[in-house]
Amino acid sequence: MIARKRLVLEGRDYWVDQFPLHLTREREAFTLPLHLHTFTELQYVAEGKGFHYIGDDRIVAEQGDLFIIPVGTEHVYRPSSPSAKDELIVYNCIFDEQLPRQLARAYPLPEGLYPLLAAGSGRYSHVRDDQGTARRIVEQMYQEYCTRSIGFEAVLYAQLTRLLVCIYRMETSQPHDLPAASGIGAVLAYIDQHYDQPVTLAQAARLISTSPSYMQKRFKQATGQTFTEYIQNVRIKKSIELLQYPAYSIKEIAGLAGYRDLKFFHALFKKKTGYSPAQYRAHWLKPPAGPDNHQA
């Protein structure tokens, strides 16, 4: 079998006057093949509906979806059909992968943000901008980039910092951020309290007296994630918190996060963060103050 040649887009082909940030507003079509790139990309679906193929995943992409595509992840958009009435319009903000670290010298960024941006084949993040906050920032950035008024570089760096923090807040939002009337808020609260135990879709559906299939649909609409994805993300987030304490072994952390299969925990953690638990502990976390860093 002949291996498929991978299309790699290079950042240097997009930087103007060595400015390592570039924005476009694209009408997606069927011409661009599956590709990866040497830069980090933030993508905001502005209009329409279609599909986003990322690695092995096929995701429905619609207005308000926001994706982080790190270096090394293959992806491509496709409209629902070639018809003009099914157009799919996406804002693309691409930047050098080292830029966030450089910006952090002036604007301290949350440490938990960097793993979302870290390079790794098949990795990505997907959030929903239900309040339109990210859209306003992206539109301001696009206008600033197109007009290129004096000092636009400084403005874009500040706006990128704001956008990254906005995305991180959406990625780490708590269950109480959703309206209680939707019923999903109660499900998310239940997950947050019982993530260390087996939690099934059927259990969640019973909490709000509905069917598992309808529950799955409502859950995806409210969170932008499937039921399984959400639980995995909660458990990985909790395990990251526990990694701050050296007294906990990786096996103990896996169990406290709800995983009895240590091999599966290692594989999932690396898929979500780009690092093994031990690597993440060594590179990203600073132990909290205390004589032994662990309270019984």
CATH for 7-171 is: 2.60.120.280
H/E element, 78: strand 75-79
Please tell me the distance from the alpha carbon of residue 11 to that of residue 38, in angstroms, as a whole number: 6
Please tell me the distance from the alpha carbon of residue 226 to that of residue 224, in angstroms, as a whole number: 7
H/E element, 42: strand 40-54
175-284 CATH fold = Arc Repressor Mutant, subunit A (1.10.10)
Q: SS3 for 282?
A: helix
254 closest CA partner among 87, 263, 171, 17: 263
pLDDT in tens, 88-117: 999 999 999 999 999 988 888 888 888 888
Q: SS3 for 252?
A: helix
Mean per-residue pLDDT over the chain, rounded: 85
Confidence (pTM): 0.62
pLDDT at residue 178 is higher than 80:
no
Please tell me the distance from the alpha carbon of residue 211 to that of residue 146, in angstroms, as a whole number: 49
Identical fold between 7-171 and 175-284: no
Tokens of 220: 């995806």
pLDDT in tens, 110-168: 888 888 888 875 678 888 888 889 999 999 999 999 999 999 999 999 999 999 999 98
Domain positions in the chain are 7-171, 175-284
